[in-house]
Structure 1
Amino acid sequence: MRLIIAEKPSLARAIAEGLTGSVRRDEGALYAGDTVITWCLGHLLEQAPPDAYDPAYKQWRLDHLPILPAQWKLTPRPKARGQLAVIRRLLKQAGEVVHAGDPDREGQLLVQEVIEHLGWKGPVSRLLISDLNRPAVQRALARIEDNARYQPLYRAAESRARADWLYGINLTRAWTLTGRQAGHDGVLSVGRVQTPVLGLVVRRDAEIRDFIPRPFFTLWVDLAVPHGQLRAWWQPGEQHPLDDQGRLLTREPAAALAERLPGAEGELTALESRDKRQAAPLPYSLSALQVDAARRFGLSAKAVLDICQRLYERHKLITYPRSDCRYLPQDHLSSARATLERACQADATLAQWLAGADFSLRSRAWNDKQVGAHHALAPTGKPAELSRLEKAEADVFRLIARNVLAQFYPPLVTREVKAEFMILGERFRARGQEILAPGWKPLFTTRDEAPPLPPLSEGERCRVEQTGVEDRETRPPEPFTDASLIKAMMNIARYVDEPAVRRTLRDSDGLGTEATRAGIIETLLQRGYLVRQGKTLRATRLGSALIASLPEAATRPERTALWEQRLAAIAEQGDDPTAFVAALIEDLRHLLSGADAERLRHSLASARGEETAPPGEATRRRRSTTSRRGGNAGTRRRPPRRRSST
C-alpha cells in the first residue's frame, strides 16, 4: 500500500481527485485503489513544554534559566491524538510513504516530524503541489521525488522551531519573573521575531513623539514660456540659511525676492530630457500582495492571508499562496494564455485587461533560476465567477490576476524633463513627466498624471507671471500600518544601523517568513503590545515598556535577520545546524544576564507617565537608606506564584 500524508484535508481531497478510479472515505483517510491518502490538521506535534524535561521546570524560577534540552522531545497537540492514531495505524500497513506537505520550510517540517515521531523506517517520497486543480495535481503526481532531497529544508525548519522554543521559553520566563519583582502582574512574552518587530514600532512611535517640527520656506514662480506656462521653484544659494537638505530656514530672503520677481524676465539655461522604459511589476509574493492589498483596500495582513487560503483551498482559483517568490517557471509560459483566458473570461474588468494582452511578449518574470520550492501567486485557470465571491476575495483575486496579465503588456515609456531658469541672477527649477507609451500602467491606476512641461528649448526666454512664498514645516515619519510594517519586515536591512551587517543582508532577507508575518502582527495585537488606531499600528504603554526593559540587541532586527540567513544556508547549502544552535545559546546566555527588575520597574513607570529615578540612581538610594538604618530595612515581599505559561 502507498500512503500519502497531506498537510491538510483540502490537499488530501485534491490529491484523491487527481488519482484514477473511485475514491471512498473511511476513518480519517481516503482510499483510491492501492493508494491511501490521509492528512495532518496543521501541526499535529509541538515542542514539549519545559516540565517534560524536568518536572521542576513546571514552576517558573530564575535559577532554572537557561533551560537547554539535551534530547529534544515533541508532544501531540491537544486535539491531534485522534488523527495521529489514524496515521500510526496506516503506517503499519504501508509499504511506501509519500510526504505531501506544502512546498515550503514549514510544510516540510509539519509532515516529516510526524513520520519520524511515529517511527517509520521505510522509504519516503516527496510530492510537491502548489495548485489544487486536477490537471496540476496529476502533473505533480507524475513527478514524485525522493524526500531525501529535502532533508536540508527539514533540518532548517527543525532548527527554527528549536531556536524559537529556546528563545521564547527562556526570555519570556526571565522577563515575566523580573516583571513580578517590578510589580507587573502578567506574562511578558519575548520572541525571536515578534520582539524586534515590536521594537520597530516602538522606535517609530518615539521618533514621532519626540519630533520637533522645523519651519522652512519655498518660493515658486509661474512662468510664461513661448509654448505655454509652467511652475518653477527657487533654488537658494549657500549664502542663505539652509538645512542639510537645502531647505530655506528663514522667510525674509524668499519674501524679498518675491517682491522683485513679478514681470521679471529670464532665460532657460539648462534643459535635460531622458526617456525611461519601465517593465511591469512582477507577479506577487504573499508579502508584496499584503502590502498592495492593505494600501488599496485597507485589508490587514492576516485578512489577506486568510483570503488567499480560501482562494487556494476552497475556490481553487490561485496557486499556493504562502510564497516568497515573485517569478514564474518557464514551462508555465506556453500555457499562460489558455490559463488566463479561462480565469478572466467571467469578469468584465479582467476580460478588458485580457483583451489588451499581447501573448507574444515575454517578461523577466519567467525565470527558472529565481524559482525555488514555490513560485509567484498566479491564477490556476479555473473560471473565476467573481460575483459569487466575497468582495474582498474578488478584489484580491483581481490583483493577483492583474499582475500576471501585466507580464503580457509592453513597458511604460515616459519622458522626464528637467529645466533650469535664471531670473534676476537666481536659479529656478522645474520638472515634468510625459507618458509616451502607457504600456501596463492603465491596469494599475486610473489617476491622471501630473501635466507635462510645455515644449522647451534651451536659451528661450521666460517671464514671471505670478509668484508665492509658502510656509512649510518638516514632518515626522508616518506611523506604521499593516502595509508599511510588512514592507519593513521584508526589507529589514533598511532598519539596520551597523554598515557591515547591512551589507551582508540580501534584499530577500527579512523578519519572519511569508507564512508568519501576518500572524506576528496579530500576536502583538492580541498580547496588548500593539493597538490599531484606524489604519495605523501603534505601540501600547506595555509594549513600549517591554522594549525599554530589554537589552537593545533583543529588540533590534540584526540578530534575527542574520539567523534567517543561517537558516537559509542550512536549507539551501546543507550547513550544519549544530553551529547555529550553539551560537544561539551563547547569545541567549548574554541576553538573560540583562534581566533587571529595577530597569523594568523604571520602564513600566515611565510608560505610565510617572517620574522615577534612573535605575542606577535608585539602586544607590536604596543602598544609602539601608546603610543609614544599619542593615536590611525589611523583607522583600515575595511575588505571587503563577501558573506556568509560555
Structure 2
Amino acid sequence: MRLIVAEKPSLARAIAEALPTPATRREGYLEAGDTWISWCLGHLLEQAPPERYDPRYKQWRLDDLPIVPQRWELMPRSQARGQIAVLRKLLKQASSVIHAGDPDREGQLLVQEALEYLGWRGRVERLLVQDLNRPAVARALGNLEDNERYRALYEAAQARARADWLYGINLTRAWTLIGRQAGYDGLLSVGRVQTPVLGLVVRRDREIAAFEPKPFYVVWADLEVAEGRLRAWWLPDESQPLDEQGRLLDPRPAQKLVQQLPGASGHLSELEQKRKRQAAPLPYSLSALQVDAARRHGLSAKRVLDVCQSLYERHQLITYPRSDCRYLPRAHHREAARTLPSACRGDSTLSAWIDAADFNLRSKAWDDAKVGAHHALAPTGRTADMNKLSQDEANLFRLIARNVIAQFYPALETFETQATFVILEERFQAKGREILEPGWKPLFTTRDEAPPLPPLTRGEPAKVLDATCEEKETRPPEPFNDASLIKAMMNIARYVEDPEVRRTLRDTDGLGTEATRAGILETLLTRGYLVRDKKALRATRTGHALIDSLPAAATRPERTALWEQRLSAMADNQDAPAPFLTALVADLQGLLGEASASRMNDALRAARQREAPEAPASPKRGTKRRTSSRSTASPRRRKSGESASSTSSSNRRRKPKRSS
C-alpha cells in the first residue's frame, strides 16, 4: 500500500477526493484503492523539556544556564498520541510513502520529523499542494518529486526549532529568576522575535511620551495665471529658521511676507510636467493582506490569519494563505479567464469588475522566477457563495479577488505638474495631478482626485490674489496598531541603526514570518506585555520593565532578522546548521552574563513610575499556575514560530507556556 501523510485532515480529504478511487473513512486515515491517506495534526512532536535531558533541570537555577542538549530529543505532544499510533501502524505495512506537508519550511519539518521519529527508512516522495481544488491537487499528484530534494529545507526548519528552544528556554529562565530576586513574582518570557517586537512598541511609546509639540508656520498664496487660478506654498530658503524637515519655526518672516504679497506680481520660473504610468498593486502576501485588512476593516492580524485559514480549508475559495510571496505562476495566467469569473460570479461587485477585465493583459505579477515555495493569495476558481460567508470572510475574499482582478486592468496613467513661481524674490510651489486613464484605480477607491492645475507655460506672469500664514503644530509619531506593527515587522530594516546591517536586511523577509507575525502579537497581548487601547497597541509597565532589564541587543531586531537570513541560506543549501547553533550558544553565554537583579530592580522601579497601562495581575507566590505547552499563536499548529514549552512539567508555579 502507498501511504500519503498530509499535514492536516483538510488536506488529506482534498487529496482523497482527487484520487480516481472513492475513499473510505477509517480510524485516523482514509483508504482509496491501494492508497492510504493519513495526516498530522500540525506538529505531532515537540522539543523535549530540559528535565528530559537531566532531572535536575526541573528546578530553575541560574547556575545551570545555558542548558544545551548534546543529543536532541523529540517527544509526542499529549493530544497527538492517538494519531502517532495510527501512523506507526500504517508505516509498518506501507510499501511507499508520500510527504504531503504544506509547501514551506515548517510544513517540510512537521511531516518529515514524524516519519523519522517513527523509524521510516524507505524512499519518500514529495507532494506539493498549493490549493485544495480537485484539479490543482490532481496536477500535484502527477508531479511528485524526490523528498530528498527538500532535505536542506527540513534541516533549516529543524535548526530554527532548536535555536528557538535554546534562546527561549535559557533567557526566559534567567530573566524570570532575576525578576524573582528583584521582587517580581511572575513569568518574564524572552524570545528571539517576540522581544524585539515588544522593543519596537516600547521605543515608540517613549518617543510619544517624550514628544514636545512645537509650532511651525506655512504661507500659501492664491495666484492668478493666464488660464485660471491655483494655490502655491512658500518654500523658505536656508537663511530662515527651519527644522530638520524644512519647516519654518519663526512666525515673523512669514507674517512680514504675507503683508507684502497681496497684489504682488511674479512669474513661473520652473515647470516640470510628466506623464506617469502606475501598475496595479500586486496580489497579496499574508502580511500585506493583514496590513490592508486592518486599515480597511479594523481586523487584527490574528483574525485575518484565522479567516484566511477558513477560506482556504473550509470553503476552499483561496490558495494557501501563509504565503510571503506577491507573485503568481504564469500557468495561473492562462487559467484566469476561466477561474476568476467562476470564483466571482456570486458577488455583484466582483462580477462587475470581471466584466470590465481584459484577460489578454499580462502584468508583472505573473513571474515564475519570483515564485518560491508559495505564490500570492488568489481565488481557486470555486464559486463563492457570499450568503454562506461571514462578513469578515466576505470582506477578505473580495480584497484577495480584487488584487488579482486588477492585474487584468490597464495601468493608471496620470499627468503630473510641479510649478515653481518667483514672487518678491521668494519661491512658491504648486503641484497638480490629472488622471488620463483610471485603469485599475476605481477598483481600489472612489475618492475624487484633487483638481489638476490649469494649463501653464514657463515664464508666464502670475499675480497674488490672496495670501495667508497658518500656524501648525508638530505631531508625535503615531502609536503602533496591528497594521503598522505588521508593516514594521515586514520592513524591519527601517528600524535598524547599523547601516551595513540595514543594507543586508533590505532583501530579507523581515522580523518573523508570514505564519508567525499574527501569533506574536497575540502572545505579547496574552502575556500582558502589550494592551490594545482602542486600535492602538501600547506596552504595559511589565513590558517596559522587561525591555529595560534586558541587554539592548536582545531587544532590537538585528539578531532575529539575521537569523532568518541564515535560515534562508540553509534552506537554499548555502549554509549549515552546526555553525549557526554553535554561534548561538556563544551569543547566549554573553547575554546570560548580563542578567542582573539590580538592573531588573531599577527597571521595575522605573516602570512603576511610567504613564503606561498595567499588565494583568501575576499569580501570587505559592499558587499553582495551569499551563500548556501549546502555542498561544495557534491552538492547532505552531507554524514556523518560536520554541514551545520551556520548562518542566513539575515546575507548575511559574512555568511558561512557550518561550518565544
Distance across 2 between alignment mates of 1:239 and 1:343: 61
**1:625 alignment counterpart:** none
**1:529 alignment counterpart:** 529
**1:242 alignment counterpart:** 242
Other structure's SS at 2:78 match: coil
In the alignment, residue 591 of structure 1 is paired with which amino acid?
Answer: L
Distance across 2 between alignment mates of 1:175 and 1:238: 51
Distance across 2 between alignment mates of 1:184 and 1:552: 21
**1:398 alignment counterpart:** 398
| Partners of 1:493 and 1:507 within 8 A in 2 | no
| Partners of 2:402 and 2:443 within 8 A in 1 | yes
**2:629 alignment counterpart:** none
Q: Deviation digits for residues 31-74 of structure 1, max 9, x if unmatched? A: 00110011111111110100000000000000000000000011
Confirm whether residue 478 of structure 1 aligns to residue 478 of structure 2.
yes
**2:518 alignment counterpart:** 518
Confirm whether residue 16 of structure 1 aligns to residue 16 of structure 2.
yes
Other structure's SS at 1:280 match: coil
Q: Deviation digits for residues 489-508 of structure 1, max 9, x if unmatched? A: 11111111001111111334
Distance across 1 between alignment mates of 2:269 and 2:187: 67
**1:136 alignment counterpart:** 136
| Partners of 1:59 and 1:644 within 8 A in 2 | no
* TM-aligned CA deviation for residue 641 of structure 1: 10
In the alignment, residue 576 of structure 2 is paired with which amino acid?
Answer: D
Distance across 2 between alignment mates of 1:257 and 1:534: 43
**2:409 alignment counterpart:** 409
Q: Taking structure 1 as reference, are residues 323 and 426 closer, same or farther at Cα in structure 2, changes over 3 Å only?
A: same
Q: Deviation digits for residues 74-114 of structure 1, max 9, x if unmatched? A: 11111111111011111111011111111111111111111
**1:41 alignment counterpart:** 41
In the alignment, residue 62 of structure 2 is paired with which amino acid?
Answer: L
* TM-aligned CA deviation for residue 121 of structure 1: 0.8
Residue ranges of structure 2 left out of the alignment (5+ in a row): 612-650
* TM-aligned CA deviation for residue 387 of structure 1: 2.6
Matches within 5 A, 1:43-58: 43-58=43-58
**1:608 alignment counterpart:** 608
Q: Deviation digits for residues 460-508 of structure 1, max 9, x if unmatched? A: 2222122111111111111111111111111111111001111111334
* TM-aligned CA deviation for residue 374 of structure 1: 1.2
Matches within 5 A, 1:195-210: 195-210=195-210
* TM-aligned CA deviation for residue 245 of structure 1: 2.1
**1:632 alignment counterpart:** none
Other structure's SS at 1:259 match: helix
**1:346 alignment counterpart:** 346
**1:444 alignment counterpart:** 444
In the alignment, residue 357 of structure 1 is paired with which amino acid?
Answer: A
* TM-aligned CA deviation for residue 643 of structure 1: 4.7
Other structure's SS at 2:334 match: coil
Q: Taking structure 1 as reference, are residues 478 and 644 closer, same or farther at Cα in structure 2, changes over 3 Å only?
A: closer
**2:564 alignment counterpart:** 564
Q: Deviation digits for residues 359-406 of structure 1, max 9, x if unmatched? A: 111111111110111111110000111232111111100111111111
**2:495 alignment counterpart:** 495
Task: Give the number of the structure with larger relative contact order, counting CA–CA contacts within 8 Å between residues 6 or more apart.
Answer: 2
* TM-aligned CA deviation for residue 559 of structure 1: 0.7
Matches within 5 A, 1:83-482: 83-482=83-482
Cα-Cα RMSD: 1.3
| Partners of 2:545 and 2:603 within 8 A in 1 | yes
| Partners of 2:541 and 2:610 within 8 A in 1 | no
In the alignment, residue 30 of structure 1 is paired with which amino acid?
Answer: L
In the alignment, residue 166 of structure 2 is paired with which amino acid?
Answer: L
* TM-aligned CA deviation for residue 644 of structure 1: 4.0
**2:580 alignment counterpart:** 580
In the alignment, residue 147 of structure 2 is paired with which amino acid?
Answer: N
Distance across 2 between alignment mates of 1:122 and 1:246: 68
Other structure's SS at 1:114 match: helix
Distance across 2 between alignment mates of 1:263 and 1:546: 62
Q: Taking structure 1 as reference, are residues 307 and 642 closer, same or farther at Cα in structure 2, changes over 3 Å only?
A: closer
Q: Taking structure 1 as reference, are residues 205 and 99 closer, same or farther at Cα in structure 2, changes over 3 Å only?
A: same
Distance across 2 between alignment mates of 1:323 and 1:168: 26
Other structure's SS at 2:478 match: coil
Other structure's SS at 2:37 match: strand
Other structure's SS at 2:155 match: helix
Q: How many residues align?
A: 618
| Partners of 2:508 and 2:561 within 8 A in 1 | no
Distance across 1 between alignment mates of 2:176 and 2:470: 53
* TM-aligned CA deviation for residue 228 of structure 1: 1.6
Other structure's SS at 1:458 match: coil
Q: Taking structure 1 as reference, are residues 341 and 644 closer, same or farther at Cα in structure 2, changes over 3 Å only?
A: closer
* TM-aligned CA deviation for residue 238 of structure 1: 2.6
Other structure's SS at 1:580 match: helix
Distance across 2 between alignment mates of 1:51 and 1:569: 32
| Partners of 1:60 and 1:644 within 8 A in 2 | no
Other structure's SS at 1:416 match: strand
| Partners of 1:311 and 1:393 within 8 A in 2 | yes
Residue ranges of structure 1 left out of the alignment (5+ in a row): 612-639
* TM-aligned CA deviation for residue 266 of structure 1: 1.6
* TM-aligned CA deviation for residue 239 of structure 1: 2.6
**1:67 alignment counterpart:** 67
TM-score by structure 2 length?
0.92
Larger radius of gyration: 1
| Partners of 1:127 and 1:145 within 8 A in 2 | yes
Q: Deviation digits for residues 605-646 of structure 1, max 9, x if unmatched? A: 1111089xxxxxxxxxxxxxxxxxxxxxxxxxxxx9945445
| Partners of 2:8 and 2:39 within 8 A in 1 | yes
Q: Taking structure 1 as reference, are residues 22 and 238 closer, same or farther at Cα in structure 2, changes over 3 Å only?
A: closer
Distance across 1 between alignment mates of 2:63 and 2:492: 35
Other structure's SS at 1:268 match: strand
Matches within 5 A, 1:594-605: 594-605=594-605
| Partners of 1:547 and 1:555 within 8 A in 2 | yes
In the alignment, residue 217 of structure 2 is paired with which amino acid?
Answer: F
| Partners of 1:152 and 1:574 within 8 A in 2 | no
**1:627 alignment counterpart:** none
In the alignment, residue 321 of structure 1 is paired with which amino acid?
Answer: P
In the alignment, residue 533 of structure 2 is paired with which amino acid?
Answer: Q
| Partners of 2:187 and 2:654 within 8 A in 1 | no
Distance across 2 between alignment mates of 1:563 and 1:245: 35
Distance across 2 between alignment mates of 1:249 and 1:506: 35
Distance across 1 between alignment mates of 2:558 and 2:652: 35
TM-score by structure 1 length?
0.94
* TM-aligned CA deviation for residue 347 of structure 1: 0.8
Percent identical: 69
| Partners of 1:156 and 1:568 within 8 A in 2 | yes
Other structure's SS at 1:79 match: helix
| Partners of 2:187 and 2:655 within 8 A in 1 | no
Q: Which moved more, 1:221-230 or 1:11-20?
A: 221-230
In the alignment, residue 298 of structure 1 is paired with which amino acid?
Answer: G
Distance across 2 between alignment mates of 1:610 and 1:235: 41
In the alignment, residue 551 of structure 1 is paired with which amino acid?
Answer: P
Other structure's SS at 2:434 match: strand
| Partners of 1:58 and 1:644 within 8 A in 2 | no
Q: Deviation digits for residues 546-565 of structure 1, max 9, x if unmatched? A: 00100000000001101100
